[in-house]
A = this chain, B = another copy of it.
Amino acid sequence: LNGERVLGIDTIGMAIITLLTDFGLKDSYVGVMKGVIASINEEAKVIDISHQVEPQNILEAAFLLRSAYRYFPKGTVHLVVVDPGVGSERSAIIVDQGDRIFVAPDNGVVSWSLRKSCGYNIYGIENPSFFLAEVSSTFHGRDIFAPVAAYLSKGMHPSNFGKKRDRLKTLEFPPVSVKEGSVTGEVVYIDRFGNLVTNIEQGMVSSGALSIRVKGVEIPGLSSFYAEKTEGELVAIIGSLGFLEVSVNLGSAKEVLQTKVGDKVEVILG
* A interface residues (Cβ-Cβ under 8 A, vs B): 6-9, 11, 13-14, 16, 18, 22-32, 34-36, 38-40, 42-43, 45, 47-53, 55-56, 64-65, 67-68, 71-73, 76, 84-88, 90, 132-134, 136-139, 142-143, 191-193, 195, 224-228, 237-240, 245, 250
Contacts and interface: CB of A to CB of B under 8 A. Distances in A.
A138 B80 CA distance: 27
B88 A227 contact: yes
A192 B24 contact: yes
Interface centre among A56, A137, A228, A245, by most B CB within 10 Å?
A: A137
Contacts of A18: 31, 35
Copies of this protein chain in the complex: 3
B139 A250 contact: no
Nearest 6 pairs of A and B residues by beta carbon: A87-B225, A139-B240, A26-B52, A24-B192, A31-B49, A14-B42
Contacts of A195: 138
Given A32-B67, A191-B27, A39 B132 contact: no
A245 B86 CA distance: 15
A32 B64 CA distance: 10
Contacts of A226: 84, 86-88, 138
B84 A192 contact: no
B225 A138 contact: yes
Nearest to A87: B225
B193 A68 contact: no
Nearest to A227: B88
Given A25-B52, A84-B227, 14 more contacts: A6-B133, A24-B52, A26-B52, A26-B192, A28-B64, A28-B65, A31-B50, A32-B68, A71-B142, A86-B227, A88-B227, A137-B224, A137-B225, A139-B239
Nearest to A135: B240
Contacts of A51: 25
Contact of A68 (B28, B132, B192): B28
Nearest to A6: B132
Contacts of A36: 7, 71
Contacts of A192: 22-24, 26-27, 55
Contacts of A245: 138
A35 B47 contact: yes
28 contacts: A7-B36, A7-B39, A7-B40, A13-B42, A14-B38, A16-B38, A24-B192, A26-B192, A28-B49, A31-B68, A35-B68, A35-B71, A35-B72, A39-B71, A42-B45, A42-B73, A55-B192, A85-B225, A87-B225, A88-B226, A136-B238, A137-B224, A137-B225, A137-B237, A138-B226, A138-B237, A138-B240, A138-B245
